[in-house]
């Protein structure tokens, strides 16, 4: 579950603008004649919160064919609830299942399961460090803590725990440092925790703004963090508005901050193009772009609608938007070209929330 799910759990208020898309592609078709998931896009779908099962869909760039629920197809088993995210590392897929407290390890080519990583609590994201080690961020059993679990990739077990700020989320790596956004879990926080990936020890924490979530590295090696803002106690307005922050990893200082004006909308879904010189994010019902050299936030929307999840395909810079619909039936993915024109859409599983581009 993403930032919106946090507010749903606390206040039953969702600030999402979603519209339905087009008809479903046949999920029984193989993505290629050999049934191998080659060049394409994996779509993680949460499944109904607290019940049902999450799924993963695959979209083939060449054929346009969509395969839904590929884990069930490959393994004759449900994936579990809630599917939070997916990564591919060294030829293996790592599917993070939040409520199921596990990471499913699959062959990235055919999605056959090879292992299950347990010992994680409300896990969020997987991040490969080297051939032997990976990190998995988590919220902890209560959702009020934060940590990164160190994973031994040879045994697919947890070898140690690194405590972070509350609600550890997404990660990027610069040199030997891993930067972890800590958006507070079911509480609030305002830091990016920096971990030495050689020693697995926290080296510092950077105060960036209220509830940081998205994180990207640009063409100049600078780190961008999108902070969602902090709601007041009654969840009627933001007590602190969102921020877009740039960090200099050479000295771990904040060198630029852009503050959003809305007290009713949280910016989210930070993405970056293939040239790594333009950021994308959803805010106030629309998608906006931000050139990394810009001196202010854009007032002109790139796409006049918002999404539950979003990503940019590095192959062609197409924007993929996840439409979760009514949060109980199958959702849609809508594709836009690099100038914001709608290309097409296709049906996926229940509550699509993110993408992995292969």
Boundaries of domain holding 157 = 3-210+314-357
Measured between its terminal Cα atoms, the distance across the chain in Å is 23
Query: Residue 52: what pLDDT?
Result: 81
| Token digits of residue 195 | 């971990």
In a domain, 258, yes or no: no
In a domain, 322, yes or no: yes
Query: Residue 129: what pLDDT?
Result: 98
| Token digits of residue 247 | 């960090």
By the 8 A CB rule, do 17 and 323 touch?
A: no
Query: Residue 22: what pLDDT?
Result: 33
State the CATH number of the domain containing residue 352.
Answer: 2.130.10.10
Element (H, E) at 175: none
In a domain, 305, yes or no: no
DSSP 161-227: EEE-SSSEEEEEEETTEEEEEE--TTS---EEEEEETTTTEEEEEEE-SSSEEEEEE-TTS-EEEEE
In a domain, 291, yes or no: no
Query: Residue 344: what pLDDT?
Result: 98
DSSP 303: B
Q: Work out whether strand 66-67 and strand 168-174 pair parallel, antiparallel, or are unpaired.
A: unpaired
Query: Residue 63: what pLDDT?
Result: 94
As a whole number of angstroms, the distance between CA 198 and CA 165 comes to 20
Beta strands in 197-236 (DSSP E): 201-207, 212-217, 223-227, 230-231
Q: What pLDDT tens digit does each residue of the chain (358 aa) get?
A: 444 444 444 433 333 333 333 333 333 233 333 457 989 999 999 999 888 899 999 999 999 999 999 999 999 999 999 999 999 999 999 999 999 999 999 999 999 999 999 999 999 999 999 999 999 999 999 999 999 999 999 999 999 999 999 999 999 999 999 999 999 999 999 999 999 999 999 999 999 999 999 999 999 999 999 999 999 999 999 999 999 999 999 999 999 999 999 999 999 999 999 999 999 999 999 999 999 999 999 999 999 999 999 999 999 999 999 999 999 999 999 999 999 999 999 999 999 999 999 9
Burial class (CB within 10 angstroms; exposed 0-12, middle 13-18, buried 19+) of 26: exposed
Domain count, the chain: 1
User: Among 117, 115, 120, 151, which Cα is nearest to 134's?
Assistant: 151
| Token digits of residue 140 | 């902890």
Look-up: residue for tokens 């609590």?
A: 121
Q: In what order do the strands lie in the sheet with 342-350?
A: 309-312, 319-323, 330-336, 342-350
In a domain, 86, yes or no: yes
Query: Residue 106: what pLDDT?
Result: 98
In a domain, 49, yes or no: yes
Query: Residue 50: what pLDDT?
Result: 82
For CA atoms 312, 313, 315, 316, give the dihedral sign. Answer: negative
Q: For the chain, percent helix, then strand, then coil, each to nearest 5?
A: 5, 45, 50
| Token digits of residue 107 | 């062959």
As a whole number of angstroms, the distance between CA 316 and CA 223 comes to 23
As a whole number of angstroms, the distance between CA 34 and CA 197 comes to 38
As a whole number of angstroms, the distance between CA 250 and CA 255 comes to 11
> Taking the CB of residue 133, how many other CB atoms lie within 10 A of it?
16
In a domain, 68, yes or no: yes
| Token digits of residue 150 | 């160190």
In a domain, 191, yes or no: yes
């Amino acid at each position: 579950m993403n930032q919106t799910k946090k507010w749903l759990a606390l206040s039953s208020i969702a600030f999402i603008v979603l519209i339905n898309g087009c008809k479903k592609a046949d999920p029984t078709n193989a993505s290629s004649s050999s049934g191998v998931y080659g060049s394409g896009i994996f779509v993680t779908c949460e499944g109904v919160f607290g019940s049902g099962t999450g799924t993963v869909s695959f979209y083939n760039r060449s054929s346009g064919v969509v395969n839904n629920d590929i884990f069930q197809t490959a393994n004759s088993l449900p994936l579990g609830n809630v599917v939070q995210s997916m990564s591919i590392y060294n030829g293996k897929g790592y599917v993070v299942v939040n409520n199921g407290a596990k990471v499913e390890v699959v062959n990235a080519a055919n999605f056959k399961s090879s292992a299950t990583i347990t010992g994680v609590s409300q896990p969020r994201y997987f991040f490969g460090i080297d051939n032997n080690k990976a990190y998995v961020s988590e919220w902890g059993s209560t959702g009020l803590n934060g940590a990164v679990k160190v994973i031994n990739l040879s045994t697919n077990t947890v070898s140690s725990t690194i405590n972070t700020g509350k609600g550890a989320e997404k990660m990027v790596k610069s040199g030997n440092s891993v930067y972890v956004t800590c958006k507070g879990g079911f509480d609030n926080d305002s830091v990016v925790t920096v971990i030495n990936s050689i020693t697995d020890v926290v080296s510092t924490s950077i105060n960036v703004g209220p509830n940081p979530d998205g994180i990207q590295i640009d063409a100049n090696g600078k780190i961008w963090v999108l902070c969602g803002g902090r709601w007041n106690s009654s969840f009627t307005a933001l007590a602190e508005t969102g921020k877009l922050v740039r960090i200099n990893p050479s000295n771990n200082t904040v060198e630029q901050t852009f503050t959003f004006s809305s007290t009713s909308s949280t910016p989210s879904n930070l993405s970056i193009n293939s040239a790594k010189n333009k950021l994308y994010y959803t805010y106030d019902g629309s998608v906006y772009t931000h050139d990394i050299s810009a001196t202010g936030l854009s007032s002109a929307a790139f796409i006049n609608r918002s999404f539950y999840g979003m990503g940019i395909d590095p192959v062609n810079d197409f924007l993929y938007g996840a439409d979760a619909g009514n949060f109980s039936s199958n959702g849609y993915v809508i594709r836009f070209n690099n100038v914001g024109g709608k290309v097409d859409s296709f049906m996926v599983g229940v509550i699509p929330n993110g993408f992995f581009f292969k």
